[in-house]
């Protein structure tokens, strides 16, 4: 006779079915999250890369106000492009370099954003991503936030330098030839010793001061003016402080950009592209393909007379380009920076007045310009 096997208990069947459903839901959540992150990343990059490129070019543009001496001591009249508006720079880039110029810096931005997004999703709490629609850094207090921000800055600094240089270079950079592009953007010294990028005069100090202000000063104002209970007066004061902070941070960002695009050489006389081409074994003709046919989008300072540090950069910018140039860049940079402040303030306001109904998946956060 066949042995009779008792059917599984209903509770066991229910547990197995529940476990399968949970795994199925988790798998679907992973797929939906991956697809939404990829779509969001693509949309944000398509929108932000041209805007960021225009802002970086505005900060990096070199336009001296008077006669100068060339390296041989002869008087030369050097005037760079005079562009004083954010949208004017966008139009100039489109006119001279076309759509390819607007999307300069696309590949390093895409690569860095993909790595950071993957790191955030795999490191931080996945449940928080499902509930809030975003990934936040760990809440570790003021000093913890400062340490986290400094560590993130150190990790992303080389990528930021390469991105800034790829945006401001007058040469055409192919999308799928990274080694060729790096030979243009980096000096032989920087390629042999990549850590030299961290020793760029004044750059690390400028970035550290920026982080110290945003991680220490601004959270203090937020704690004082934005308590758990909402106050329209305090909220308005806080928004005003954020907008005024732009006037303090914009000059620092201008100097950081000018320092980031300044390449590091092993010797003062080792600066020309032709010398580097010979050492690299690359034909000089490969470097003669410019993005603009007749003119460059922005003027760049000669590498034989570099900035020696953050303070030296500030003095030379004022002495050579004048305070009016700094003010024009400041006014042009207020648009994206003030937009960032408005987005951050709006999100905090919505969290205070409607914490249960506010969904942080607002598309505004993906359009931030930095």
Cα–Cα distance for residue pair 144/115, rounded to 1 Å: 23
5 located within any domain: no
Tokens, residue 184: 């243009």
Position 275 scores a pLDDT of 39
354 located within any domain: yes
**Dihedral angle over CA of 367, 135, 215, 316, nearest 10:** -40
- Non-local (6+) Cβ contacts of 61 within 8 A are 80, 81, 83, 298, 299, 329
Tokens, residue 123: 């490191």
Instruction: Give 10-residue mean pLDDT values along the chain (370 residues).
Output: 53 56 64 78 88 91 70 57 82 90 91 78 57 55 82 90 94 89 92 93 94 85 72 80 83 92 72 42 50 76 88 90 69 54 47 42 38
Tokens, residue 207: 């970035």
Cα–Cα distance for residue pair 366/206, rounded to 1 Å: 25
Tokens, residue 65: 């106000």
Q: Domain containing 176 — which CATH number? A: 1.50.40.10
308 located within any domain: yes
- Phi first, then psi: give them for residue 268, nearest 5 degrees: -65, -30
Determine the structural domain holding residue 314 and report its residue range: 18-72+87-367
- Phi first, then psi: give them for residue 75, nearest 5 degrees: -75, 130
123 located within any domain: yes
138 located within any domain: yes
Percentages of the chain per state (helix, strand, coil), in multiples of 5:
70, 0, 30
- Phi first, then psi: give them for residue 171, nearest 5 degrees: -90, 155
Position 44 scores a pLDDT of 86
- Residue 124's alpha-carbon distances to 145, 153, 213, in angstroms, are 15, 18, 25
6 located within any domain: no
78 located within any domain: no
Number of domains in the chain: 1
Cα–Cα distance for residue pair 139/274, rounded to 1 Å: 50
Query: Structure pTM?
Result: 0.74
For residues 30 and 350, is the Cβ–Cβ distance under 8 A? no
Position 206 scores a pLDDT of 94
Position 186 scores a pLDDT of 93
For residues 86 and 58, is the Cβ–Cβ distance under 8 A? yes
314 located within any domain: yes
Q: What is the DSSP letter of 364?
A: G
């Amino acid at each position: 006779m066949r042995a009779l096997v008792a059917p599984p208990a209903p509770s066991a069947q229910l547990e197995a079915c529940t476990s399968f459903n949970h795994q199925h839901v988790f798998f679907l959540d992973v797929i939906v999250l991956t697809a939404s992150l990829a779509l969001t990343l693509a949309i944000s990059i398509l929108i932000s890369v041209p805007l960021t490129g225009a802002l970086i070019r505005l900060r990096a543009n070199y336009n001296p106000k008077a006669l100068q001496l060339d390296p041989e001591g002869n008087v030369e009249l050097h005037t760079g492009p005079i562009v004083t508006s954010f949208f004017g720079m966008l139009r100039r880039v489109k006119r001279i370099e076309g759509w390819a110029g607007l999307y300069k810096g696309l590949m390093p931005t895409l690569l860095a954003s993909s790595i950071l997004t993957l790191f955030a999703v795999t490191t931080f709490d996945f449940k928080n991503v499902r509930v809030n629609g975003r990934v936040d850094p760990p809440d570790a207090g003021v000093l913890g936030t400062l340490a986290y921000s400094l560590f993130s800055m150190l990790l992303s600094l080389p990528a930021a330098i390469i991105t800034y240089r790829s945006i401001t270079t007058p040469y055409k950079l192919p999308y799928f030839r990274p080694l060729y592009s790096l030979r243009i953007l980096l000096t032989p010294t920087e390629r042999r010793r990549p850590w030299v990028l961290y020793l760029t005069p004044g750059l690390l100090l400028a970035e550290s001061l920026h982080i110290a202000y945003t991680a220490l000063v601004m959270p203090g104002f937020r704690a004082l003016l934005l308590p758990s209970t909402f106050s329209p007066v305090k909220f308005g004061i806080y928004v005003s402080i954020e907008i005024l902070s732009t006037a303090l941070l914009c000059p620092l960002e201008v100097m950081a950009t000018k320092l980031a695009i300044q390449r590091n050489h092993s010797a003062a006389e080792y600066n020309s592209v032709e010398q580097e081409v010979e050492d690299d074994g690359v034909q000089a003709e490969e470097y003669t393909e410019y993005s603009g046919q007749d003119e460059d989008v922005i003027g760049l300072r000669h590498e034989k007379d570099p900035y020696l540090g953050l303070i030296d950069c500030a003095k030379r910018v004022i002495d050579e380009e004048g305070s009016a140039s700094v003010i024009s860049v400041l006014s042009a940079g207020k648009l994206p920076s003030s937009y960032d402040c408005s987005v951050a303030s709006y999100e905090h306001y919505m969290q205070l007045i409607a914490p249960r109904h506010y969904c942080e998946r607002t598309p505004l956060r993906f359009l931030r310009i930095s």
